[in-house]
Amino acid sequence: MNKTILEGFIVVPEEDLSAVLDELPNHIQLTRNETGCILFDVTQDPLTPNRFTVYEMFSSREAFDLHQQRVKSSIWGEVAKNVERHYKLYESE
């Protein structure tokens, strides 16, 4: 079965940065605990604090889709609703 990978970056509006930083550790932990999560990293850029590099790997498209559903109804989904997303999504063996 192919793995589903998402990679890219997000840009957080200045007015949302504090809330995003507060909730990010919880979001990372919850995601890493999800069934099918192989790797989940979100890293703040040291030179551009509003930019975060994102890399996600899930065991299947189904696991990735379940992750997306959970996020929509989570606190992270609320605090990150204004985030500008720049992602590519692909499948890999």
Mean pLDDT, the chain, rounded, equals: 97
Question: Cα(92)–Cα(70) distance, rounded to whole angstroms?
Answer: 23
Flag whether pLDDT at 80 surpasses 80: yes
List pLDDT tens digits, range 13-34. Answer: 999 999 999 999 999 999 999 9
Flag whether pLDDT at 79 surpasses 80: yes
CA distances from 58 to 9, 10, 14, 71, 77 (A): 17, 19, 30, 14, 19
pLDDT at 30: 97
CATH number of this structure's domain 3-92: 3.30.70.100
pLDDT at 32: 98
CB contact set of 60 (below 8 Å; sequence gap of 6+): 1, 2, 3, 4, 36
Strand partners, 91: 4
pLDDT band of residue 71 (cuts 50, 70, 90) is very high
> What does the domain layout of the chain look like in residue ranges?
3-92
The pair phi, psi for residue 54, each rounded to 5°, is: -125, 135
Flag whether pLDDT at 1 surpasses 80: no
